[in-house]
Amino acid sequence: MKPKTFSDEGIVLARRNYSEADRILSVLSKNHGRLSLIAKGVRKPSSKKRGHIEVFSKIRFQAVRGRGLDLITEAESLDNFSEVRHNLKKVALAYYFMEVVGRTTHENEKHIELYSLVCKYLELLKTEVKLRNLRNKFVIEILTTQGFWPKGKILLNPDAKLEEVTERKINSFRVGKKLTS
């Protein structure tokens, strides 16, 4: 039986508004895989969790298991990647990274290696100037880490392979590609 409460660290992949003051977060956690968590009251101006749960922020959180969605009770920002947030091209690429991870993973599948990979690329994004190369390397490493492409084999068109794997176009593809030109 799983414990009722748990804590972990993770990266916020996406968020969407729910109800009047709540948000549903998609988080890639280190030890639990991708999770959907509900953050109650976080859209209220007085919420203490509000600033910690921005997209592509690295957080430490505590949650309680619920009947449907797990409830996030505490959140603390470990790194909000402020260096990335000051550059529009880097922000677009960070959102692209989050969308790719969200589209290629499933709920509750453990991905410790994937979590480390995403952290590595967000750190690289802080100082990288060749964003197109970084983007292509990221897609190739994501595909090989998750077993969609053999390790060591050359992938000429990573975007086509990614589209084949996800069976749809990535929404931020055009923006990410245009800004990294």
pLDDT digits (tens, 9 = 90+) for 112-148: 899 999 999 999 999 999 999 999 999 999 999 988 8
Tell me the pLDDT tens digit for each residue of 86-121. Answer: 999 999 999 999 999 998 898 888 888 999 999 999
Give the separation between CA 17 and CA 177, rounded to whole angstroms.
27
Closest CA to 7 of 56, 65, 60, 53: 60
pLDDT at 152 exceeding the cut of 80: yes
The superfamily (CATH) of domain 5-79 is Nucleic acid-binding proteins (2.40.50.140)
Q: What's the predicted TM-score (pTM) here?
A: 0.87
CATH 2.40.50.140 residue ranges in the chain? 5-79
